[in-house]
Structure 1
């Protein structure tokens, strides 16, 4: 369903004698949408708005609970959580976003920050991936704080992402396990992977002489890719995966209730 401003514009262009195709082009919407509302009266439009609002009101309490837990949660996150919690939900995103805007204004949950956008660098397809670890504090259903740890890998060219959660800090063994899951998810492995100088991978580094953890070194040789290393928190070298770490925290974990590590990983795959 289109918004009231677009509906009014359609009626305005109709009164001026503009064709439906030109109206659609002028408003940047589909011809089908223009055709639907071309002969719709104001009363019928208002009735459709009320029906749409009534349908979303069935999920009002669930949405308000999410906003109460985390007022700054993104609307997209709530939409994905709704789809996850109510698989039979049928609502267009535009309808959902209009409803969220009105609900936030009604209950005082307006956003106070804007999303930051950073430039994208291009690397050859299939050549490089970047990997890193993150951690986050969630609340369980009893309000207790639970810290979860996660491994992220991102393909530098396509920005295809993979995330794997663990209830414990990663060891070399569990990091290798996460790599296997990532390669399976991607359908292959890149030629090189960029890492931090992390104790999971590196025993020591002195004047450029790197000593890898033996199990990790054997794994790299067996799988057959090369390793590049950089200093921790170096956005110029591995900014792509650091962006993904932040994206996982803000767009997946923020406002989520912890119900177990398996359900978290299943939800991440679906996400």
Structure 2
């Protein structure tokens, strides 16, 4: 630019083009160009690029790349594969570089262009993301629910062991509770937990649990195009933001609840941020969303899947590949199942008969040992090999009591020990444990003694294991045995 200015200034003061070329050491063509343009115009191609070795094959390349749009992303042509096919199948004699340059330019010409969108207050977008977390000392995949209010950029994040339908619904329930209001509409992708089927006319057949949630909160659902994440770009961006900012370094928490409490705190802190292009914080703009959202219903939606099953001969019922135990009295009966994010509740008729922590493994067996104690009392020979008792961590006093009972009464002692364990059907572990320890200290090694001590603790009365306080019991007199008493067995004398 400095040379342009000097040449144009000299010629404006009367210097000829020939003299200017000689004075500034440039050609007369350069002087004419400088006088024709106030700034360097740059290189201008006057004719299209000629590619004699490639021009006859561009139609084939365009056809292949066009067909690739309907194929899986990981099975599309690369520039290298196009070069190899042209060389082997069509006699191409050019080099790889011109193929690579053409494919790159083709991609630029056909890259999608998007329309900037505006978002009205009171509407939301929802999605699920994945990250690695350490929960309870074990590294595992965390599936986190993300709900974004695009108008004000407020967000809610909650993590789960799996992205099930119950997790989707539970995420909505907690998000609505977090904001204290319900969006007018929510934009989703076509996740199978939400959409059972896309009809030929484009309408969605909703999954049962999802449809119930929409009806409960009166939400209008909207959907993006299949495979087009840009239709809900706000929440897609939130998923990436959450992974980079909330999941780095890898989160480490003792429980899922502790992790989710921390995530809620991060969402609240983010409301103090002021994003580019806005003069107000996220929290201040959130008020506009809340004014446009509908009030929260008094009763939250029960985010639980419902199913039914029949109890097997092993007192197990199956739900989602996993088997859960029930009291043996309900064997071979039909039961109902309610599966929530963290628990599985099983009932028969109007009665709840079992509760279990939910397992997200496959082909797992979840036992409650107490369910099998009535059966083990009758089939005491199976006690040592009973799978429900394997891994049952009881206080040390129970093991001591078992050894003493078995040493004193053998098989009958083992059965009596099971009777002691059956006290856990009616009383808390703390009460039974205290009674067992008291019985060991007093040397009262029996089921009746332990039960008496439990009842005394609950009724807040002193234990009385002395028969003198029970006058209604029949009195017995036990005489001392003498050797002469056995003589009748040899002499035939009357006894």
Residue 131 of structure 2 is aligned with which of 136, 142, 162?
Answer: 136
Q: Residue 239 of structure 1 aligns to a residue in which SS?
A: helix
Higher relative contact order, structure no. (Cα contacts within 8 Å, ≥ 6 residues apart): 1
Counterpart Cα distance in 2 of 1:140 and 1:217: 32
Correspondence for 1:91: none
Counterpart Cα distance in 2 of 1:206 and 1:198: 15
Paired residues for 1:23-172 under 5 Å: 121-126=117-122, 128-139=123-134, 145-167=139-161, 169-172=162-165
Counterpart Cα distance in 1 of 2:149 and 2:125: 7
Query: 5+ residue gaps in structure 2?
Result: 1-114, 267-495
CA contact (8 A) 2:135 2:256 kept: no
Residue 264 of structure 1 is aligned with which of 259, 263, 266?
Answer: 259
Q: Residue 182 of structure 2 aligns to a residue in which SS?
A: coil
Q: Residue 162 of structure 1 aligns to a residue in which SS?
A: strand
Correspondence for 1:244: 238
Q: Residue 124 of structure 1 aligns to a residue in which SS?
A: coil
CA contact (8 A) 1:133 1:149 kept: yes
> Over aligned residue pairs, what C-alpha RMSD do you find?
2.3
Correspondence for 2:183: 190
The alpha-carbon distance between structure 1 residues 240 and 215, as it changes in their structure 2 partners (threshold 3 A), is same
CA contact (8 A) 2:132 2:250 kept: no
CA contact (8 A) 2:125 2:188 kept: yes
Correspondence for 2:101: none
Counterpart Cα distance in 2 of 1:247 and 1:182: 18
Q: Residue 143 of structure 2 aligns to a residue in which SS?
A: strand
The alpha-carbon distance between structure 1 residues 232 and 151, as it changes in their structure 2 partners (threshold 3 A), is farther
Query: 5+ residue gaps in structure 1?
Result: 1-118
Q: Residue 173 of structure 1 aligns to a residue in which SS?
A: helix
TM-score computed with the length of structure 1 as normaliser: 0.51
Correspondence for 1:74: none
The alpha-carbon distance between structure 1 residues 245 and 120, as it changes in their structure 2 partners (threshold 3 A), is farther
Number of residue pairs the alignment of both structures matches: 151
Correspondence for 1:203: 196
Residue 214 of structure 2 is aligned with which of 203, 211, 220?
Answer: 220
Runs of 4+ in 1 over 4 A off after TM superposition: 139-142
Correspondence for 1:177: 170
Q: Residue 131 of structure 2 aligns to a residue in which SS?
A: strand
Superposition deviation, residue 202 in structure 1: 0.7
